[in-house]
Amino acid sequence: MFSLEKMINRCRPGHGASCALCCGSHNYAAAPEEIESIFIDRGLDRTISIHGHPEDCSGKKLFDDAIQCPNVGMSREDPGIICCLVYDCTARENAISSFFNGTCKNFFCAAWDSLTDEEVLFAAELMSDWYYYSLFINDIESLKEEFSTYGSPQHVPVNRLAEIKEKLVQRLIDEDGK
């Protein structure tokens, strides 16, 4: 259950971290740099409009049965932060209600219910990006274990951070059986 006591937005907690996993930000059969390039291009496109359906994908999917929303992109105002570009769309009127009701409200993010603000900030500061942060806050058990062990991102050894990132990517790939 969502708690009003939680003040940190799990999608944009600061420290250069952001998440759009619910929108399929990681559902590309491509390297993180290639995915980021797609998001940057979308963010630069000032003519973006609301696509009719989130399945209007632009790349080969990692998971065929999962979303790859074409409205995820890099924020124009906050480079490096992924977001929903629909909010910047000027001609959204009635389409926005339909889009959000058909897409966004159907995803449950365990990070909102299972993580404390302190754990989210630990993950945000440790990862400081959109790619690994998204994976980390959605691996609740691992995040809680690392937070319990280290307490502060500054205490996480560099080699341990590399191991965490490798494990997160492997978990993502293994979920699809590849």
Q: What is the DSSP letter of 32?
A: H
Mind listing the pLDDT tens digit for each residue in 127-159?
A: 999 999 999 999 999 999 999 999 999 999 999
Position 54 scores a pLDDT of 56
Position 45 scores a pLDDT of 74
Q: What is the DSSP letter of 87?
A: G
> Using CA of residue 173, residue 12, residue 57, residue 66, what is the dihedral sign?
positive
Nearest in space to 172 (alpha carbons), one of 31, 18, 34: 31
Entry pTM:
0.86
Structural domain boundaries in the chain: 21-106, 111-175
**Angstrom distance (rounded) from CA 60 to CA 55:** 12
Comparison of pLDDT for 134 and 52, the residue scoring more: 134
Report which listed range, 2-16, 66-80, 112-126, is most confident. 112-126
Summarize the confidence of residues 94-98 as an average pLDDT: 63
Nearest in space to 153 (alpha carbons), one of 134, 136, 177: 136
Position 8 scores a pLDDT of 93
- In which residue are the tokens 């000027």 written? 90
Nearest in space to 114 (alpha carbons), one of 133, 142, 82: 142
Position 43 scores a pLDDT of 84
Position 50 scores a pLDDT of 59
Position 56 scores a pLDDT of 63
> Using CA of residue 84, residue 87, residue 88, residue 92, what is the dihedral sign?
positive
Listed in sequence order, the residues at least 6 apart from 139 whose beta carbon sits closer than 8 Å to its beta carbon are: 168, 171
Position 3 scores a pLDDT of 46
Instruction: Give the confidence band of 2 by pLDDT, cuts at 50, 70, 90.
Output: very low
